[in-house]
Amino acid sequence: MILVSKFMVPKGFTGITLFPFVFVKYAQLKLDRVFVNHERIHLRQQVELLILPFFLWYGLEFFVRYARYKNWYLAYRNISFEREAYHNEAHLDFLKKRPFWNFLKYLCKP
C-alpha cells in the first residue's frame, strides 16, 4: 500500500518502504512505475528476511559501508539491498523472475 506522507520520509529522500507500506513524499510518485518498482523490490527483500532482520542487516551494512567510504551517500548507494533495487528498478518484470535472496549477489561487488 502506497501512502503519501512528507513526515514519514527522511530528508533527502522521496520514499521509504516499511513493510507493508511504501511512504512517498509526493502523490505523483505513486504513478512513477520505476520508482514504485524500486520500492516493491525493497518489499520483497523485507519479506525474504522476515522484516526485522532486514532492517538490522540494512543498518549494519550501512555503517560498514560508511566506515569504508566516509561518505553518507556512497554508503547508502552501496548497501546490497539498494544496489539490487537501483540496478533492477527499470526492469518492470524483474520481481516475476527474481531468485530468492538475490540481493546477496550484490553484497561483495566493488
Q: Is-cis flag, bond preceding 53, omega within 30? A: no
- Residues 65-108 have pLDDT tens digits of 999 999 999 999 999 999 999 999 999 999 999 999 899 888 87
The residue-averaged pLDDT of 43-48 equals: 98
Starting at the earlier edge strand, list the strands of the sheet with 15-18: 2-4, 21-24, 15-18
The DSSP code for 11 is T
Cα(46)–Cα(55) distance, rounded to whole angstroms? 8
- Show me where the domains of the chain are located: 2-106
Cα(83)–Cα(88) distance, rounded to whole angstroms? 8
What per-residue confidence (pLDDT) applies to 6?
92
What per-residue confidence (pLDDT) applies to 108?
79
